[in-house]
Amino acid sequence: MVIGMLKLAVIYGGMSTEHDVAMVSGKNVIDNLDRKKYEIYPVEITKEGIWKREGKEIKDISTFLKGMDKVFPVLHGLYGEDGTIQGLLEMLKIPYVGCKVLASSVCMDKVYSKIIFEKAGICQAKYIYIKNENTYVDENMDEVKLENDEIAKLVKEKLGFPVFVKPSNSGSSVGISKATNESELITAIIEASRFDRKILIEEAIVGKEVECAVLGTDKVEASTVGQILSAEEFYSYDAKYKNAESKVIIPADLSQEKIDEIRRTAIKAFKAVDGSGLSRVDFFVEKDTDKVYINEINTMPGFTEISMYPKLWEHSGIKYSELLDKLIELA
């Protein structure tokens, strides 16, 4: 150990369906950290939840973590981006990169994110919330049991088709399906139920899919805006990580006025959930009206070579290694 160097644990992998992406993100972060500033301790969490360092299981996780100056939890999805690892680090009083427990848990849950955005007056797509495949939860949080045909009728009346059906707690588009009719809707609900008991059914917004990166805590900055050109009908897991035909445009093909509106809204949404450190805020810009709709906030966005978050900041003048320094300083 070199005196004066910061002891930094980089935790990656995890138990969620996004394990493989988090493995790539974590290794990419490690490769881009300044070895002159940090004594780096890579930690892999396996899909089974075993913590490993240099291939060997860490038996006493608390003692190991307490030996670190800071932690960079490069974990996507459940058990990493949902407030759980953040809660552990809070209990151990160890500074860490990223949003705290509340923002992490709220942003992981698409339904409760919607409630916060609505309270903040941020424009979003219309939606319906159901539980356990056949329990409709209304605006007053009252629950009503419905048959499949009744759910389909409700969706048709309130949202119309097509719709997107999403597990409330999932990331990287895992478990998301597009439904264009009643039969596809029921199939999509069953698929989403594999990943969560809470399901969001959302009207489809036809237009551009764009993303904005935010950085900071009390003083929050927003990057320029990037645009997704999906090789598939929507930006699914395969379209993101397996289809090389998917592209990004930075800056997005939008007027400067619209880009500035999205940047302001990204900061507003980030503050509404009490975000800190970093997030990527995703939006739709409707084709016919040019109206901006918030989609979701990702509190630990990807850090792979193709990930939008570091690309947006690089285009905004902050190199990858410099971005990592800023994030660690904010912890």
Regarding whether 198 and 154 lie in a shared domain, the answer is: yes
Share of the chain above pLDDT 90, in %: 86
For the chain, the average pLDDT equals 93
- Cis previous bond, 95, omega within 30: no
Contacts of 246 (CB under 8 A, 6+ apart): 228, 229, 230, 231, 232, 235, 239, 240
Tell me the average pLDDT across 94-107. Answer: 97
pLDDT for 236 equals 46
**φ/ψ of residue 36, rounded to 5:** -80, -15
Regarding whether 255 and 155 lie in a shared domain, the answer is: no
Residue-wise pLDDT tens digits, 35-89? 999 999 999 999 999 999 999 999 999 999 999 999 999 999 989 999 999 999 9
Regarding whether 219 and 159 lie in a shared domain, the answer is: no
The answer to the question of residue 1 being in a domain is no
For position 304, which CATH number holds? 3.30.470.20
Task: Read off the pLDDT band of 238 (50, 70, 90).
Answer: low
Tell me the average pLDDT across 228-254. Answer: 70
Regarding whether 196 and 210 lie in a shared domain, the answer is: no
The answer to the question of residue 55 being in a domain is yes
For position 63, which CATH number holds? 3.40.50.20
The answer to the question of residue 18 being in a domain is yes
pLDDT for 246 equals 74
The answer to the question of residue 274 being in a domain is yes
pLDDT for 235 equals 47
Regarding whether 227 and 168 lie in a shared domain, the answer is: no
Residue-wise pLDDT tens digits, 113-131? 999 999 999 999 999 999 9
Regarding whether 211 and 84 lie in a shared domain, the answer is: no
Say how far apart CA 145 and CA 317 lie, in whole Å: 52
Contact 256, 249 (CB under 8 A): no
pLDDT for 186 equals 93
Task: Read off the pLDDT band of 93 (50, 70, 90).
Answer: very high
What is the domain extent for residue 145?
127-203
Residue-wise pLDDT tens digits, 316-329? 999 999 999 999 99
The answer to the question of residue 102 being in a domain is no
How many helices (H) does the chain have, and how many strands (E)?
11, 16
Query: Last residue of a domain, which of 145, 175, 203?
Result: 203
Regarding whether 216 and 167 lie in a shared domain, the answer is: no
pLDDT at 151 over 80: yes
The answer to the question of residue 11 being in a domain is yes
Q: How many CB atoms lie within 10 A of CB 307?
A: 20
Regarding whether 223 and 180 lie in a shared domain, the answer is: no
Task: Read off the pLDDT band of 133 (50, 70, 90).
Answer: confident
The answer to the question of residue 101 being in a domain is no
Regarding whether 287 and 259 lie in a shared domain, the answer is: yes
Regarding whether 199 and 213 lie in a shared domain, the answer is: no
For position 172, which CATH number holds? 3.30.1490.20
pLDDT for 243 equals 44
Residue-wise pLDDT tens digits, 263-282? 999 999 999 999 999 999 99
pLDDT at 239 over 60: no
Regarding whether 88 and 156 lie in a shared domain, the answer is: no
pLDDT for 102 equals 97
The answer to the question of residue 239 being in a domain is yes
Residue-wise pLDDT tens digits, 299-313? 999 999 889 999 999
Regarding whether 265 and 166 lie in a shared domain, the answer is: no
**Domain count across the chain:** 3
